[in-house]
Amino acid sequence: MPLFEVAIIRKPSKKEVDEGTGMEGLVLAPTPVVARDANSAVIAAVTKDGGLKDFDPNKCEVIVRPFA
C-alpha cells in the first residue's frame, strides 16, 4: 500500500474574519499514513487515536499528498 501525508487546517468563518478574531490553525500536523488511496488516508488520519476534537469538516481544509 502507498504512503500518504495528511494535514488538516482550520479555516476561520466569515464572521470571525469580519470581526478580526478568526485565524487559521493547524488541527492535524502533517501525518504519515499507509492507506489504499487518498480517501482512506484521510479517514485513517482523522479516526486515529480516538479521533480529532476540533475537526469540523465544514471549517477545515484537508490536504493529502502522496509520498512517492
For residue range 3-56, list pLDDT tens digits in order.
999 999 988 887 877 787 778 888 889 999 999 999 999 989 888 876 677 677
What is the extent of the structural domain holding 24? 3-50
Q: How far apart are CA 10 and CA 24, in angstroms?
A: 5
Look at the chain and report how many structural domains it folds into.
1
Helices (H), 1-68: 14-19, 38-47
Q: Does 12 map to a domain?
A: yes
Whole-structure pTM over 0.95, yes or no? no
Q: Does 20 map to a domain?
A: yes
